[in-house]
Amino acid sequence: MVRGFDSIFGDAPAVHVVVSRESTMYRPEMEWLCQQLGSRFTVRDTRFLDFQNGDSVYRFFELFDLSQVESAEKILSGASNGEVFLTPPPKPIFEEKMLFALFWNRNLRSFWRQELGEGFMSRLEKWIPYTWLMDPAPMPPQAAIPGGLDLTDWNQLKALSQKERDLILKISGFSEKAWGARGVYLGSDLSTPEWSAAVDGALKDFETSPHVLQRFLKPAQVASRWYDFSRQEMVDMPGRARLCPYYFVSGQGDRARPALGGVLATVVPADKKIVHGMSEAILAPCARSVPTPTKSA
């Protein structure tokens, strides 16, 4: 992971990791990482402005939060002029879950096939869940929402029974409510008034903060353990896991190559419906298991 992070900045003389107030809880992690990499790497707050030509900037802030990042204008203009290297790229599309819905849109099928290739597109169809974009535009009375939902109006979601609404409604991504399970609603876990309010809010906010809908698939249970420092012992915990791979892209243009730097497992107690980094969760790096050698006869 450390080597992967280091590799994305090439030979830049200085790397500034700019952490916003919104992301301040992650600052200790970034400070530890920079300490491992030496004096070339420094964690900065959003008021830092002393960027030099040739420097690299790692933005630990979301694009929706630019108004709270005092150095944003200097960073973005420097990146645009080629004075600094900025990563992750400031592209709002990477912060939008609606890309999943666009992937399944049949009007774009030939585009995706041309851009991705038939083989890669087929692989993505196996992994990307069918996703609906909650667009409140009226449909003809004979039309129905595709993908097996079989509704003729989004408001009909509110009349589904609790068993029928095993669905996840979430804000698309370009919003301050799009992380930490904020802006996520599990239909089967809500009362009818709560679910109706979530649907109404999603339709009302379409122009500024689009929402997407997906079927909810409960994660499988896994056996896990954590260390209780107060009791000084290991504690067993059945849980549900989410795996997050971290890829680092090194090189520029046609020379750019991705490399897997590590995988983070987040395990929450089995009674939790949505997996995210909560205080009760276990967060641990994954390692490849090595078979135990056996003696030959």
Cα–Cα distance between 39 and 138 in angstroms, integer? 58
Confirm if 266 and 276 have CB atoms less than 8 A apart. Answer: yes
- Confidence tier at 125 by pLDDT (50, 70, 90): very high
pLDDT, tens digit, for every residue of 44-75? 999 999 999 999 999 999 888 899 999 999 99
- Confidence tier at 178 by pLDDT (50, 70, 90): confident
pLDDT, tens digit, for every residue of 197-208? 999 999 999 998
Mean pLDDT of the chain: 90
Could you tell me where the beta strands, DSSP code E, fall in 20-96?
A: 41-44, 56-60, 85-87
Structure tokens at 118: 């038939």
Between residues 113 and 292, which one has the greater pLDDT?
113
Global pTM?
Answer: 0.81
Between residues 173 and 24, which one has the greater pLDDT?
24
Q: Which of 89, 88, 90, 122 is nearest to 103 (CA)?
A: 122
Q: How many helices (H) and strands (E) does the chain have?
A: 7, 12
In this predicted structure, what is the pLDDT of residue 276? 81
Mean pLDDT of the region 231-235: 94
pLDDT, tens digit, for every residue of 252-296? 888 889 999 999 999 999 988 888 878 889 999 988 765 666 555
In this predicted structure, what is the pLDDT of residue 297? 44
Give me the percent of the chain exceeding a pLDDT of 70: 96
Write a three-state SS string for 205-219: CCCCCCEEEEECCCC
